[in-house]
Structure 1
Amino acid sequence: MATRALSISRLYGHERDRLRAIARRILGDPVTAEDLVQQAFVNLLGRSSHAEPPPVSQAYITAAVRNLTLNHLRNAKRHGEVALDDAAMAAIPAPVASPEDTVIHRAELRRLLKAIEALPRRRRQVFVLSRLAGLSYAQIAGRMGISRNTVISQIASAMADLDRALG
């Protein structure tokens, strides 16, 4: 096994640039080409433990990289993937809310905060610790000195109260 891994490592060192060039010619994307070459070698290493592992040869790994590259193209077409370079990504404007959307969202947030404020004290504490502070039910129970089931019950009641308040 160690000898086989060493052979695969040597093959990677000798063939990596040539295989990247093949994948890059097919894809036109050097980053994805590098990823696919690495994936081919990872696959080869993973198959080393099989009863009959594939050969560690230039021909085998070339075919593997070519197949992975073609599969990637096929999947990209099926899923409508679009590759953008760094310049194209930089040209995409960041989504900015319109002034109207900002006013609407702020009003909704004020309504939500008022509804949370109106919850009974313990229910509000449990809700805030869970939903805003991100604590687990067990952490809340330990911090507040109540059972986990009480935490669950308080959160369910808080959600129902907020649903009614925000209608």
Structure 2
Amino acid sequence: MVEEVITKDKFEKLFREQYPKLCAFANTFLKDIQASEDVVHDILFKLWENRETLKIDISVEAYLYRAVRNKSLNVIRHIEVKEQYKSYNEEAINEASQNESDTMESSELDLKIRESIDSMPEKRKEIFQLSRFDGLKYAEISKKLNISVKTVENQMSSALKYLRTELTGFFTILILFFLKNF
């Protein structure tokens, strides 16, 4: 096929005849009138801008439809990449926020536990710490402190009741804390 030369008159006629059709064609891909018009404007602008150096071996109309199709598909790919990036960023932000929130809750819990343990009577506090933090069994605590196993059991029972009362708002986290350290 012979290469067509695009004159100003030919371009204006082409624009009037093809612009609405090309926009409708682009809209079948993009489902967005404004984006479709932008695609067609870009294609027609480049056609006019490069009219002297552009070599079109097919009809100008076929060239325009192919160019609109390709540009529309590129826009869709670009939108998909932006959405994936946005989704990835939102997930990363949510995860960081959740980790920060968990860390804050954990810090608050640690502080509240320490305060609660520190406010226990001295002997009860010592028995509790030997059991929960040092990992000693009741018999070992009994032997170490020269008290009966029954006293250790009673003091531990009292310590746990006290902590349940003090840490009511953190009860679920408290359970996890004790399971982790038990």
Pick the structure with greater CA Rg.
2
TM-score if structure 2 supplies the norm length? 0.39
TM-score normalized with structure 1 length? 0.43
